[in-house]
Structure 1
């Protein structure tokens, strides 16, 4: 924080909230990779520096609890599950210059067994009101509920089709799980009754993404392979509220009236939000906007009051055209950013993460790890928006999921090579402090070597000055 901001705050010119937003915005723009690693087991004594990924066959899903921001869940491509305590890393010396490297080991984990998922995890999320339980979905057609303490499943639902995505409302008490599956209808599971309640038909292709409104517990959005994004009101017999249309820049869904908190129907029920499958949905915290990601390599921002396409252009660097797996961006908490200055981080094709201004589409950060899985935070692993270098595309290093740590300026990413990466701020002041610390360390080392040389020189002089006599016979 600058001296000017501190002075302005001390005399009451600006509010504490303004100072907080200014500081956290600066930190978010300074995110860089760290040397922190996640390993499913400790390194052996014979090979203390061996690389052991968090999940041997790749990581498909990632989430962090929103209560403490302490526990991270990861789901593997081999159906393995692990839970990590982010406040208890293990420090170990991994290089000759005795530089400490923080490493996380799982609190507990589940390897692939016949009793758990038989195929890879597609989505993982904590129970909305209690981090002691979480849900998973899988390519084996099932959705399961687990205990966070034992990692044992307490319930299982077979949907008879691949489950690509699941969503739980962050505010509702109806405990409905919206499931995106190979079916053309959104499937709803009631955790209270333990049964499939009903389906929401309307899409003309497999449903790939679902997301509940963060402010209205009965409103749901879904995206499918037919390129459509639909809104639903689960209280109504004809649940569909409307369809987003990429050609609508005015908004024909209409604003909801004071007597109703639901949308009006669209005049074009066959409208498309993307010219390709939609595999990512994300609401802003105030629910005024919905962000959609499609296989046409486009990110679109929609005004949910009217259904209008805001026409934000994120440029030609966006890549999202392979597979049906979820591709969900993250938004730092709104309290961290000034109004209208929100930043979105998108898991781009290859091994990079792109940061954009949400309402301007300007590229502000381009984050990537070094080739070969190196985790040197001080190396040139991050290219700024002005960089002209094009990153090498590494399928094994592909970013599969992103998660933001509650109450902190930290982002986590999972990768197809089985690793989990940590992104933390590194400002110019941090770099200068590191340089000063390195210089002080070098000076201390030099001083220590000088003392050793002085001691050896004194011993040598004492030996050479000592009078030597020879006795006669």
Structure 2
């Protein structure tokens, strides 16, 4: 590491290349953390997780019995051995708690004083963290499988809600009412995600095997219906295009918003170009997926190549997004894994499942060669640029004044 930092100081390696290489090294070598764990307080399977994006300090979890828990992730003890303690809880027996399973949780993107939850009791609750009581509650006709708020929205405060009815609902937190109904699906909607690049772009997945892209500002039908065949190879009997041959129960944008990953009960993971709507035809192989509820998976940050962490039965599978290569399988849960989420600031992965455990996966610094390989490739590029005369290394203390210049 000291030599790498010296290369950055000397200009041999760019700082961004060092960040990408170190991120790649850690992302490739996640293992079950031996020094840190989450206090085990759950009495039922854990369905959903979220880490606040402001401080990266609090982990929010929702359980199948309707209870909610918040753990403090920061270690102030000075010891590497640390257990994240429970700081807040909403017991399932409280009148304000969800009556049935909590399917989705999310922190308010701009403040830890607010978080949202939804579940099988057909309700979306907006919680005040200071008093741990609902500030507002929205009731719907169908069971809520997922909801999502945009992390980049500055001019609206919309929550997209996917329910067992065949349309997406948009709830405005400022007005406290349901403002839009996005009609285009013909069956229950299981997943919805806002784009991290375009403030008004929304992706939705449904039991009708479709993935639709919406511009919520337009008073018309969806922008695109994604076609797994890119308009080719379909039989004449197929009237509409489908993204999967089964229910679409998982969606996730890459962090630059250029690509979208969809997950279906046809045991397939597909990569889509969000601008053209084309299937990138990346083969990830068969990924077991038999659940009829929303699956939460996540993508690495500042990693090259980018990796996706996929829950599948009792395992977590790691794939390179652009090539479809399976990198690793993370083993640690004793039952089905329901949720995976990356820490927004650290190279850590949090996973939860029906075994009532929340596990922390951290980097192993001793086994990876990706860091050295990436730096070596960057150094080779610099050397080739020097030979072509495209890169000139200058002495910062040298006199650059020309003797021919007139005073």
Q: TM-score, normalised by structure 2?
A: 0.84
Describe the SS at the equivalent of 1:21. Answer: helix
The residue aligned with 2:257 is 287
CA gap 1:347/1:249 in 2 versus in 1, 3 angstroms: farther
Given the alignment of the two structures, is residue 337 of structure 1 paired with residue 317 of structure 2, yes or no?
no
Aligned to 1:240, the other structure's residue is in SS state: coil
Q: Is the 8 A contact 1:89 1:103 kept in 2?
A: no
SS at match of 1:196: strand
| Matched-pair contact (CA < 8 Å) for 2:71–2:86 | yes
Write the deviation string for residues 174-218 of structure 1: whole angstroms up to 9, x where unpaired: 111111001001111111111111211111110000011112111
* Preserved CA contact (<8 Å) 1:79 1:121: yes
| Alignment gaps of 5+ in structure 2 | 233-237, 369-407
- Give the aligned partner of residue 320 of structure 1: 289
1:81 is aligned to 68
Q: Does 1:348 align with 2:288?
A: no
Cα distance in 2 for partners of 1:56, 1:295 equals 28
Show the counterpart of 1:247. 229
2:266 equivalent among 262, 287, 296: 296
Please state whether the residue corresponding to 2:362 is helix, strand or coil.
strand
Superposed CA deviations along residues 315-356 of structure 1, whole A, max 9, x for unmatched, are: 23x11122x2211321111xx213xx111111112x211111
Q: 2:298 is paired with a residue of what secondary structure?
A: coil
| Cα distance between partner residues in 1 of 2:2 and 2:239 | 53
Q: 2:178 aligns with which of 184, 188, 196?
A: 196
Offset at residue 114 of structure 1 (A) = 2.6
Is residue 76–residue 121 contact of structure 1 (8 Å, CA) maintained in 2? yes
What is the deviation of 1:429? 7.0
**Which one has a larger percent helix, Structure 1 or Structure 2?**
1
Q: State how many pairs are aligned.
A: 360
Partner of 1:270: 240
Q: Please provide the CA RMSD for this pair.
A: 2.0
Partner Cα separation in structure 1 for residue 124 and residue 59 of structure 2 = 19
Contact kept, 8 Å, 1:24 with 1:409, in 2: the verdict is: yes
Number of the residue aligned with 2:337: 399
Bigger radius of gyration? 1
Which one of the candidate residues 82, 96, 105 is aligned to 1:102? 82
Q: Is the 8 A contact 2:38 2:360 kept in 1?
A: no
Mapped to 1, the partners of 2:129 and 2:239 lie a distance apart of 42
Deviation at 1:29, TM superposition (A): 1.0
The answer for unaligned runs of 5 or more in structure 1 is: 40-52, 93-99, 251-267, 374-393, 431-473
Q: CA deviation at 1:131?
A: 1.7
Q: Tell me the CA shift for residue 103 of structure 1.
A: 2.2
Matched residue, 2:163: 181
1:61 is the counterpart of 2:27: no
Distance change in 2, residues 1:89/1:151 (3 Å): farther
Change (3 A) 1:188 1:269: farther
Q: Deviations over 1:31-63 (max 9, x none)?
A: 100233323xxxxxxxxxxxxx33111111100
Give the 3 Å change call, closer, same or farther, for CA 159–90 of structure 1 in structure 2: farther
User: What is the SS of the residue equivalent to 2:350?
Assistant: strand
User: Hey, what does 2:212 align to over in structure 1?
Assistant: 230
TM-score by length of 1: 0.73
Q: 1:420 to 1:91 in 2, by over 3 A?
A: farther
Aligned to 1:463: none
Q: Show structure 1 runs of 4+ deviating over 6 A.
A: 89-92
Match of 2:191 among 209, 212, 219: 209
Match of 2:376 in 1: none
> Structure 1 residues 102-111 or 182-191, which shifts more?
102-111
What is the distance in 2 between the residues matched to 1:426 and 1:285?
24
- SS of residue matched to 1:32: strand
With over 3 angstroms needed to count, the CA separation of the structure-2 counterparts of 1:227 and 1:429, relative to structure 1, is closer
1:235 and 1:21 mapped to 2: Cα distance?
Answer: 36
The alpha-carbon distance between structure 1 residues 168 and 104, as it changes in their structure 2 partners (threshold 3 A), is same
